[in-house]
Amino acid sequence: GFTRKFSSSAALNSVKTVTVVGGGLMGSGIAQVAAQAGQNVTIVDIKPELLDHAQKSIQNNLQRVAKKVHKDDPIKMEQFVKESISRIKITTNVEEAANVDLIVEAIVEKLEPKQELFNKLDKISPEHTIFATNTSSISVNAIGSGIKRKDRFGGLHFFNPVPVMRLLEVIKTESMSEETYKIMMEWGKSVGKTCITCKDTPGFVVNRLLGPYSAEALRLYERGDASKEDIDIGMKLGAGYPMGPFELADYTGLDTNKYVLEVLHKLTNNPVFRPIPLLDKMVSEGKLGVKTGEGFYKYKKYKGEARL
């Protein structure tokens, strides 16, 4: 059955219940892969409309996964979606969701709200609860600086789209215990991901390398050395990337791109991450990519929602 495909029984002995704080794109993806693996999940968000949206998009994405896993069996397909959805609860009250084995934070990418959340959770969660942040660019240590359980805290960095991307970066801080590290690695495997380990260093592995790549692509285009279309084709056909750098920037969002470059510039002082006037201009014009209907390319809007 699918549970064997998506989970390892060893990890389920440690993590059976998961809370995901933040019902956006990343949070709902994380909730989905945990529910698919047979775990009970609660999604917490302060905005009820975001929780409704998360439930709907999880339902849609589960259908896509079901089609792949049970392609010739419509009954099993329906069962898979129904059972996975039934394991997901939603709430606007974090206090209702603090008593679990693992809490993954995927809220706004800002230091103070993340610190406040973990400080609060540290007081109300049981001893054994492990905390993780899905931050992509903020220091994991800084996020957990106010909590007591520093040995049961670290980073779990997922990639967009979470149900499809096979990687999970497990960020191992100096104060994390070996047991916590092991549980995080096992849990990652149980939700279908290949885990790699990285210290709490700016951008971790993937964003540290994607940053200069994306910045240099933008500068190449800004200088007029090549068209964005040709750069995208070049990296797809010449380097095997599934998307070119401009398609990827539109997909992840130009605002996110700009923010990650700014943080990496501040933390590393490496001039490769310096500001890019073209990117700043597009962000100030609201051309953020797929989500606003226009970035480097234009996108059609279906049912009020922009799609690739």
Residues that bind ligand 3HC (CB under 6 A): 61, 64-65, 68, 136, 159-161, 163-165, 207, 242-243, 248, 252, 256
What H or E segment, with its residue span, contains residue 140?
Answer: helix 140-143
141 is catalytic: no
Q: How far is the CB of 16 from ligand 3HC (least distance, A)?
A: 24
In the DSSP assignment, the letter for residue 297 is S
User: Active site residue: 7, 28, 136, 190, which one?
Assistant: 136
Token pair 């997922």 is at which residue? 158
Taking CA atoms, 218 is separated from 128, 146, 263, 289, in Å, by 46, 38, 17, 14
Q: Give the C-alpha separation, 51 to 259, whole Å.
A: 25
207 is catalytic: yes
**Do the bridges between strand 130-133 and strand 167-172 make them parallel or antiparallel, or are there none, so unpaired?**
unpaired
User: In this complex, which beta carbon is closest to ligand 3HC, that of residue 22 or of residue 163?
Assistant: 163
From the list 162, 169, 158, the residue with the least C-alpha distance to 64 is 162
User: In this complex, which beta carbon is closest to ligand 3HC, that of residue 98 or of residue 235?
Assistant: 235
Q: How far is the CB of 168 from ligand 3HC (least distance, A)?
A: 11
Which single residue brings its beta carbon nearest to ligand 3HC? Answer: 136
Sign for the CA dihedral angle at 169, 202, 248, 297 comes to positive
User: Active site residue: 7, 28, 157, 257, which one?
Assistant: 157
Q: How far is the CB of 159 from ligand 3HC (least distance, A)?
A: 4
Find residue 289's DSSP bridge partners: 294
* The residue type at 40: N
What H or E segment, with its residue span, contains residue 195?
Answer: strand 194-199
User: Active site residue: 61, 105, 169, 214, which one?
Assistant: 169
137 is catalytic: no
Q: How far is the CB of 251 from ligand 3HC (least distance, A)?
A: 6
User: In this complex, which beta carbon is closest to ligand 3HC, that of residue 118 or of residue 159?
Assistant: 159
CA angle 1/30/293 to nearest 5° reads: 120
Q: Give the C-alpha separation, 115 to 255, whole Å.
A: 22
Q: How far is the CB of 137 from ligand 3HC (least distance, A)?
A: 7
User: Active site residue: 7, 190, 207, 214, which one?
Assistant: 207
User: In this complex, which beta carbon is closest to ligand 3HC, that of residue 97 or of residue 138?
Assistant: 138
User: In this complex, which beta carbon is closest to ligand 3HC, that of residue 135 or of residue 173?
Assistant: 135
216 is catalytic: no
**What residues are labeled active site?**
136, 157, 169, 207
